[in-house]
Structure 1
Amino acid sequence: MGITFRPVTRDDFGLIGHWLAQAHVARWWAHETGPEAVERDFGPTVRGEEPNEDLIALDDGRPLGLCQRSFWASYPDEVAEFAPFLLVPPDAMTIDYLVGDPADVGRGRGSALVRALADDTLAGHPTCGQLLVPVAAGNVASQRVLEKAGFVFVTVARVEPDNPVDPPEQRVYRRLRT
């Protein structure tokens, strides 16, 4: 069966909050983890008010992690922020991901998740020509995951970091459809 994906529902909010509170996730995601915060951050997508997809990754039916994907063009402010460093074509999408359980970290599950997510995204979105994924320069583990999943380093962009403790450097990786 392998890794599959399903849309996040409200029933997943407790699990998402638990995952976001894990040290290996909290360092890079910098989200509040209480029920109100999870509802605030993930509720709009569940209700169809955000132009992105939030997904639960399942490994042989067991929840493995949280994934997000969207077209860059749906977020013009982010395209403008990266524009001095990188051409973001209108057909480009991005992904984000986390492996929730610390016991699954460091065992190749992240690379398998990202490879499956990239394949699923390209298959499910035929107008997507490429995936462009920025990663905090300090997040070496995520950079390795992307490289193992077939992504190639493109450039460094200096943008506002997701987590205020990080410097502005983001390493941008690409995977083309072909």
Structure 2
Amino acid sequence: MSPTDATADAASAPLPHVGTGTCPTPGEDGTARCADRSTEHEDTLDLRLPDELVALFETGQLGAGTDAQDGQGQQSRGESTAPPPSLTPAGDDLLDGVADWGPITTPAGVFQLVPVRVERDLPLVCRWMNDPAVAAFWELAGPQNVTEDHLRSQPAGDGRSVPCLGVLDGTPMSYWEIYRADLDPLARHYPARPHDTGIHVLIGAVADRGRGLGSTLLRSIADLALDKRPACARVVAEPDLRNIPSVTAFLSAGFRFSAEVDLPAKRAALMIRDRSLRDLL
């Protein structure tokens, strides 16, 4: 199951994504033609090459005869394919400095994303992962080494995913993963656009669930990502479709239900928060 399935606003809470695609219609010559759509926010495939790939062509790091592959970020639970080589030059910050995004003032208090330090934070995150309501969707229950392997795999990568503690008024109370959805295996399953930013989240304490806190923090972090990442036009999430409380939390946070997506380990709800609609939803 993808770690996108978190406990956001209820006892079991992953956050979903769902999108509406454009259905091709047959032309007179029998080939598929896309129906003309004028809706501004339709989830159609953006054919512009990612900036990272363009940069590699310009610098000659990706030349003739090289197979350009879709970039992958953090490996989704149930996805067994090893990630291909990164299309991003080493050392680039793919998420525009998550560690420097906050703190921010929210209706719930002062909130900040603090990148995980395994030596300091492993026991806390492992305890949350062993909560049955969380384990049902994250599938990281068990001894500490299970959670440790998951946490260490992200900082050891190329920066496509950053695991963080969510600290509210000085108290760690949630776990977040901010990732490049367009460079993640998820991009194989929906019409990704360059710089799409993904969110996985779980609310740690049972007392913090089911009272709107998840929605409040999701809205704040999604808007913060849009503020701090000018190239990003959308924040996305893909919770398990069965996790109704989590889907509801995303809807309350200004995300729209875009489509149902079949992922390797689950059927997910694709949730999208658009920059252009943030003042309306």
Quickly name the TM-score band, shorter chain normalised.
0.7 to 0.9
- Between the aligned partners of 2:195 and 2:117, the Cα distance in structure 1 is 27
More strand by percentage: 1
After superposition, the C-alpha distances for 1:47-92 in whole angstroms (9 at most, x for unaligned) are 45552111111111111100011112322x3312x1xxx3111221
Q: Report the equivalent of 1:164.
A: none
Gaps of 5+ in 2: 1-108, 277-281
* Alignment length (residue pairs): 167
**1-structure distance, mates of 2:138, 2:254:** 23
Q: Cα distance 1:107–1:130, how it changes in 2: closer, same or farther (>3 A)? A: same
Contact 1:4–1:116 (CA under 8 A) maintained in structure 2: no
Q: Does structure 1 residue 103 correspond to structure 2 residue 207?
A: yes
Tell me the equivalent position of 2:144.
35
One-letter amino acid matched to 2:268: Q
Q: Tell me which residue corresponds to 1:136.
A: 240
Q: 1:172 aligned to 257, 270, 273, which one?
A: 270
**CA RMSD across the alignment:** 1.6
1:174 CA drift (Å): 0.7
Percent identity for Structure 1 against Structure 2: 23
Partner of 1:63: 172
Of residues 41-50 and 101-110 in structure 1, the stretch that sits farther from structure 2 once superposed is: 41-50
From the superposition, tell whether residues 99 and 20 of structure 1 become closer, same or farther in structure 2 (CA, over 3 Å).
same
Q: Of residues 104, 129, 135 in structure 2, which corresponds to 1:26?
A: 135
What letter matches 1:30 in structure 2?
Answer: E
What CA distance in whole angstroms lies between the structure 2 residues aligned with 1:33 and 1:4? 28
CA distance in structure 1 between the partners assigned to 2:158 and 2:258 by the alignment: 32
Q: Which residues of structure 1 form unaligned runs of 5+? A: 162-167
Q: 2:250 and 2:183 mapped to 1: Cα distance?
A: 23
- Higher-Rg structure is 2
**Inter-partner Cα distance in structure 2 for 1:68 and 1:105:** 18
TM-score normalised by the chain length of structure 2: 0.56
Give the distance between the partners of 2:142 and 2:169, measured in 1 at CA.
Answer: 26
8 Å Cα contact 1:44-1:50 kept in structure 2: no
Bigger mean CA offset, 88-97 vs 42-51: 42-51
Matched residues in 2 for 1:33 and 1:118: separation? 30
> Shift of residue 176 of structure 1?
0.8
Instruction: Measure how far apart 1:138 and its partner are.
Output: 0.3
Q: Is the 8 A contact 1:52 1:69 kept in 2?
A: yes
Query: What is the CA–CA distance in structure 2 between the aligned matches of 1:103 and 1:15, rounded to whole Å?
Result: 16
Secondary structure, counterpart of 2:271 in structure 1: strand
TM-score by length of 1: 0.86
